């Protein structure tokens, strides 16, 4: 089956009792056992729930994987991943990393002697050199948040496999619709399902997908043991949302390309970051491993920081808010919002300027989106 058919039908069997075409929400904490230890597959919702099972079946298929585990958040998924490590283990990661991921490694798990280092994963020579340090896994964001850098997932996977290093790809920005890292050689794919997979800014969740049964069992154990489970209702909402993931992503990408092209021609814009533009330094790699370029556009304007803040505060269709990937357009100032937990010196080292602005382009009418940006730019 093709993507959108799987998104509508996998994990969405009609209710056997009533015939309801949409499976019910199993709002239960516990389950009656036929005899001690003899269950119908579930004993306590922290460990499992039919809504979890349904969503995991669907999301695994959309990532072209065998096994999926859902969590309470993207950081919950990362916590479960880290729970497979032991004291002294090392992790490498993309240097242009989401602030929350950076924070959990450097301010939480560093206390337990989990070694963490960010590198330039766009530089394959640096990746190869760092493999000699025997990291347990390398965590790649591609596209990255918020600079939209692209790493060659297939090439890094080939290098890592030579050294017995696991490859984990945060696929949140691309979505399962535009990129499938398991097909490129990755071992684990993660998502904040809060973003494009959920797509409506009304639920928080995380996801890990793999073809390795042993890893799946470890992820399930981490969810149960640490208490990283979502609610059944959030799982049900996400199952509802993925039915439209394909059509939403097409519109996000179509609108984002037009916004990026508009910005690229505007005299008040210093630099545009969007992998769909031929001017993007990794455009050819993006063309090779992605089926589309998603809906995030980052921009530096030809003005000082205070003017930039005034500009993004005067938008109307774009709401000034954290997060991304919803049907509505959002605008974010990474240095003071989503990436404030990364020290300024570290931000500057990777090129994340204080004046950078991240636009999550929604699925509204493109003429209205462009008009909103034009009106705001005319005020500075």
Tens-place pLDDT, residues 10-54: 999 999 889 999 999 999 999 999 999 899 999 999 999 999 999
Residue 31 phi, psi (nearest 5):
-135, 140
Q: How far apart are CA 249 and CA 196, in angstroms?
A: 8
Give the three-state DSSP class for 92: strand
Predicted confidence at residue 30, as pLDDT, reads 97
Task: Walk me through the domains of the chain, giving residue ranges and CATH numbers.
Answer: 3-243 (3.40.640.10), 245-377 (3.90.1150.10)
pLDDT at 348 over 80: no
Predicted confidence at residue 187, as pLDDT, reads 98
Give the chain's mean pLDDT: 95
If pLDDT is split at 50, 70 and 90, which confidence band does 329 have?
A: very high
If pLDDT is split at 50, 70 and 90, which confidence band does 181 have?
A: very high
Predicted confidence at residue 336, as pLDDT, reads 79
- Which are the contacts of 152, defined by CB distance < 8 A and separation ≥ 6? 122, 124, 285, 288, 289
Predicted confidence at residue 304, as pLDDT, reads 86
Parallel, antiparallel or unpaired: strands 188-192 and 206-210: antiparallel
Predicted confidence at residue 343, as pLDDT, reads 79
Q: Percent of the chain scored above 90 by pLDDT?
A: 90
Reading across the β-sheet that carries 166-170, which strands appear in turn? Answer: 67-71, 206-210, 188-192, 166-170, 137-141, 90-94, 115-119
Would you name the residues annotated as active-site residues? 46, 98, 170, 195
pLDDT at 130 over 90: yes
pTM over 0.85: yes
If pLDDT is split at 50, 70 and 90, which confidence band does 345 have?
A: confident
If pLDDT is split at 50, 70 and 90, which confidence band does 350 have?
A: confident
The DSSP call for residue 349 is: H
């Amino acid at each position: 089956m093709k993507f959108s058919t799987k998104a509508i039908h996998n994990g969405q069997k009609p209710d056997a009792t009533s015939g309801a075409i949409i499976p019910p929400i199993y709002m239960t904490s516990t389950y009656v056992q036929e005899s001690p230890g003899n269950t119908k597959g579930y004993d306590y919702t922290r460990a499992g729930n039919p809504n979890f099972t349904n969503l995991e079946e669907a999301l695994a298929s959309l990532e072209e994987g065998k096994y999926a585990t859902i969590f309470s958040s993207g950081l919950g998924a990362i916590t479960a991943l880290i729970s497979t490590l032991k004291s002294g283990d090392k992790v490498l990661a993309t240097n242009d990393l989401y602030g929350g991921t950076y924070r959990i490694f450097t301010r939480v798990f560093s206390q337990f002697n989990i070694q963490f280092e960010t590198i330039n994963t766009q530089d394959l020579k640096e990746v190869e050199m760092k493999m000699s340090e025997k990291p347990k896994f390398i965590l790649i964001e591609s596209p990255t948040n918020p600079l939209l850098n692209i790493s060659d997932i297939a090439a890094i996977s080939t290098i890592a496999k030579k050294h017995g290093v696991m490859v984990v790809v945060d696929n949140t920005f691309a979505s399962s619709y535009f990129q499938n890292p398991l097909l490129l050689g990755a071992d684990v794919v993660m998502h904040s399902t809060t973003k494009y997979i959920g797509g409506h800014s009304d639920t928080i969740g995380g996801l890990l997908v793999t073809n390795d049964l042993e890893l799946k069992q470890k992820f399930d154990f981490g969810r149960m043991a640490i208490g990283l489970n979502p609610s059944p209702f959030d799982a049900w909402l996400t199952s509802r949302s993925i039915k439209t993931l394909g059509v939403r992503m097409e519109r996000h990408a179509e609108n984002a390309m037009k916004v990026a092209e508009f910005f690229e021609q505007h005299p008040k814009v210093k630099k545009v970051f969007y992998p769909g533009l031929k001017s993007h330094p990794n455009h050819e790699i993006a063309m090779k491993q992605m089926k589309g370029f998603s809906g995030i556009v980052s921009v530096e304007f030809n003005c000082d920081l205070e003017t930039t803040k005034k500009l993004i505060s005067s938008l109307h269709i774009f709401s000034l808010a954290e997060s991304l990937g919803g049907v509505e357009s959002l605008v974010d100032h990474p240095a003071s919002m989503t990436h404030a937990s990364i020290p300024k010196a570290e931000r500057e080292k990777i090129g994340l300027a204080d004046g950078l602005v991240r636009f999550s382009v929604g699925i509204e009418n493109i003429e209205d989106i462009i008009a909103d940006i034009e009106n705001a730019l005319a005020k500075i």
